[in-house]
Structure 1
């Protein structure tokens, strides 16, 4: 009886151990399953910045910087009264907030250059149709944004450099140090002023567009297009040869008077020397 009871006890203990192990494994796996999302959330959470929980997946495009454009325009007009047309162009430029610049006009032909705000250039050019017959109109734009940004960055750097040199100048103790630092400070200050003038010039060209108007009583012929080909190349080469020959002729004409002036005395000297040589030979022979 003792041994059967002992074997039954061992079997019961084995069953209990098996059940506990399964329960622990299931509990451990469940705990790990519950902990996995938390671990994943902790790994993802540091990558998000505050205020980005509701951010859209697509990245918003960066706003483009306003471009700085230098605008110029050229307009050809035909008018029976050139002087009146030139005056009307200047009046329209002043009415738009600009001013007149260079002017050259006669009764038959004239031209004027005006500066107008860039935002008003298209309006002023369109209004010239009321002044005369527009035979040609051209508007050009040059982007100087990069130049202006680069110049302003250089100005900021140069200002910091000038400030450092002023601090060193105040701390200088000897005459040699004062003279050396003062010369370097003057040089850097001059470079800073040059950069500032360049920046102001660019800003002025951006703010005010340049408009050139040519007026004539007859339609102004447009510039002839340049045709590339064998004929044009041959003509250009021939013209170059003619110019070279013309230059050589001019040089010869400029040098010839000096040659004539120097040749006569040289010929006289050579004649005298040869005559003396012949006389000497005749004397020796006698």
Structure 2
């Protein structure tokens, strides 16, 4: 072999040794990365495991159970809003029509409408059902119709009642299903009758719970506001607390008018009875009194001898004259 061939063989051997070393180093690096990844995953799984040493499957079941729990945050709570307010306006009928149109626009409806159209003291009382999400804005809008005199808003948190009803409804549905299955497998008449009664009872209880849930859902979905529109002549709370001569005079005049109206009402109710029974009775009493007051005719006196003429009057005996002393 020549020197050139020997040098080439040495160089090839060197290249093969370097390649083998490179391949070994790569294999060592890959093995280290795999071990590190396994140790990291093991550490993470141990960290995620519960303190009691429960397996990963139990932890997953706990997460699923927690996901099914009700969300009791403020925005997820069930709250019933009810309110009353009194607004003084220039046109009572116009304000009432405007409120009805506004509640229809926001997706609500009118639950009650009581109006009194009197020239001096007009009044309209409306019971409006409004979606709960728009309740506050709607009440503020009603206050802009005139001068707000009174506002009262009450809230009731029924979240716990809602959750309890949901749980009871789910349990009752399961009881109804089990009773129906037993009814389908009944073999005797007595067993059939007994199971039918049990199914009917459980279905009635379920219907009652569902009715309560529907009512509660309606109250939470639609809030209630009772607004009273009054005219400018209506008395306010501040005026009722005033004192003085003019206040007393106005109050006395109102009481007098009310008393007269009551008196005329009573008189109108009694007048037909007076005309029917009172007039004939009064005429009869007058006739009886006149008969009692008429004098009786004189009767002629009778004599002891039966004569028709009375005896002549006798003259009184003469009185003797008396002498005066000398």
TM-score (norm: length of structure 1): 0.55
Q: Which runs of 4+ in 1 moved over 4 A?
A: 44-47
Aligned to 1:143: 157
Aligned to 1:16: none
Aligned to 1:104: 114
Aligned to 2:81: 71
221, 226, 245: which one pairs with 1:212? 226
Equivalences, count: 171
Report deviation, 1:64. Answer: 4.4
130, 139, 147: which one pairs with 1:125? 139
Q: Distance in 2 between matches of 1:130 and 1:70?
A: 24
Relative to structure 1, is the Cα distance of residues 90 and 210 closer, same or farther in structure 2, using a 3 angstrom cutoff? same
Relative to structure 1, is the Cα distance of residues 166 and 84 closer, same or farther in structure 2, using a 3 angstrom cutoff? same
Whether the 8 Å contact between 1:135 and 1:219 is mirrored in structure 2 is no
Relative to structure 1, is the Cα distance of residues 145 and 219 closer, same or farther in structure 2, using a 3 angstrom cutoff? farther
Relative to structure 1, is the Cα distance of residues 219 and 136 closer, same or farther in structure 2, using a 3 angstrom cutoff? farther
Whether the 8 Å contact between 1:77 and 1:136 is mirrored in structure 2 is yes
For structure 2, the 5+ residue unaligned runs are 1-42, 52-68, 241-326
Higher helix share: 1
Q: Does 1:81 align with 2:91?
A: yes
- Of structures 1 and 2, the larger Rg is shown by 2
Report deviation, 1:221. Answer: 3.3
CA-to-partner distance for each residue in 1:160-209, whole Å, 9 max, x for gaps? 00000001100111111111100110010011011011111111111110
Report deviation, 1:50. Answer: 5.1
Relative to structure 1, is the Cα distance of residues 47 and 220 closer, same or farther in structure 2, using a 3 angstrom cutoff? farther
Whether the 8 Å contact between 1:98 and 1:115 is mirrored in structure 2 is yes
Q: Does 1:193 align with 2:207?
A: yes
Relative to structure 1, is the Cα distance of residues 45 and 116 closer, same or farther in structure 2, using a 3 angstrom cutoff? closer
SS in 1 for 2:107: coil
SS in 2 for 1:48: helix
130, 143, 147: which one pairs with 1:116? 130
Report deviation, 1:46. Answer: 9.1
Give the alignment's Cα RMSD to 1 decimal: 2.6
TM-score (norm: length of structure 2): 0.49
Report deviation, 1:49. Answer: 2.1
Q: Distance in 2 between matches of 1:118 and 1:78?
A: 25
Higher relative contact order (CA 8 A, sep 6+): 1
Q: Does 1:92 align with 2:124?
A: no
Q: Distance in 1 between matches of 2:159 and 2:50?
A: 34
Q: Distance in 2 between matches of 1:191 and 1:138?
A: 37
Q: Distance in 2 between matches of 1:187 and 1:130?
A: 53
Worse-superposed segment, 183-192 or 102-111: 102-111
Aligned to 2:47: 48
Q: Distance in 1 between matches of 2:44 and 2:80?
A: 49
